[in-house]
Amino acid sequence: MLDSKPLLFPSDFPLIRRRRLTTLQVNLGYRCNQSCLHCHVDAGPKRTEEMSLETLDELVAFLRHGDLTLLDITGGAPELNQVFRPLVIAARELGVRVVDRCNLTILEEPGQEDLADFLAEHQVEVIASLPCYLQENVDAQRGSGTFDASLRGLRALNLRGYGRSDSRLSLSLVYNPTGASLPPSQCALEAEYKRELKARYGIDFNRLLTLANMPIRRFGSWLQSTRQFDDYLGLLKSAHQAANLEAVMCRDLISVDWQGYLYDCDFNQMLGLPLRHGDGDGDGDGNRHRHSRSPSSPNQRERLHLRDLTSAELLRERSIQVGEHCYGCTAGQGSSCGGALA
């Protein structure tokens, strides 16, 4: 398999700085019950990375003393991790909104039979991947049988009130293109999804989020193997919209990996671009990078850990580590973990 994890070279992506930290996005580990083609995490059943109870305690301590409004939990399939439910419970007791990035098929995994009830009980907002409303497209991207299992998961959530207009339980779906292209209009596609899923399967949801595929890890390897890597990067750069820089998620979010180390975003986490002690306080020239084809080897001792962050204010105005992959967030209508930016 080709390695799409890049070395660091100068990039012309614009310099951006952090604002007030409002969102903690936590990756609990890379183990998943699926191995999707578009996955920027390269997650799968054979991955063993998993957050420890010690790191869970550090997370909860930061939530307790911070001023965060949202905890965004991701993976892998985060529900497979031992700390998922304790983390949800602790965050909700602190009054923090919680989002679970759910692949839907996890609801049918052994030991997860009560997962839908747990999510509803704690009013967890569900953001679920469903790259199309057509079976052949979903199964091609996520594996045979995935579409039918996803529908059963959506029905289970609907039965508990998720996605209903008269309920406070929020259910969003996520669309990713199946190939080397940008997502279509989020607004128009949402209307199409709602019409087709209701008419075909009787399924309701609140919002559709369109996300561009990042040219890293598994999707990046696919781009390389099909000789589309450079063309796709060119597409992202040519479609760059400067207005999207104001709304990119990294300005208000910090990404935490399964060991508790900090990154500007989940994509930087996958590329091995951690926050470091002393970084981001100057003009930012040292925080611009460019794609190549081989992995980097950052100095582990210099990485900034969650326990080092005594106050979220320490990150304000800090320059963000950017690279060619960042054009995936600013191309066209823009793309973030919250969907289109424009």
pLDDT in tens, 314-328: 889 999 999 999 999
Give the largest Cα separation in the chain, rounded: 55
pLDDT in tens, 86-106: 999 999 999 999 999 999 999
SS3 327: helix
Lowest mean pLDDT, pick from 129-143, 204-218, 254-268: 129-143
State the pairing for strand pair 125-129/97-102: parallel
pLDDT in tens, 173-190: 999 888 899 999 999 999
Residue 34: which of 142, 123, 135, 122 has the closest Cα? 142
CA 149 to chain centre: 21
Percent of the chain residues topping a pLDDT of 90: 68
Could you please report the per-residue DSSP string of 186-206? HHHHHHHHHHHHHHHH----S
Q: What is the mean pLDDT of residues 217-245?
A: 93
SS3 262: strand
Q: Which helix (H) or strand (E) holds 102?
A: strand 97-102
Please state which CATH number belongs to domain 23-330. Answer: 3.20.20
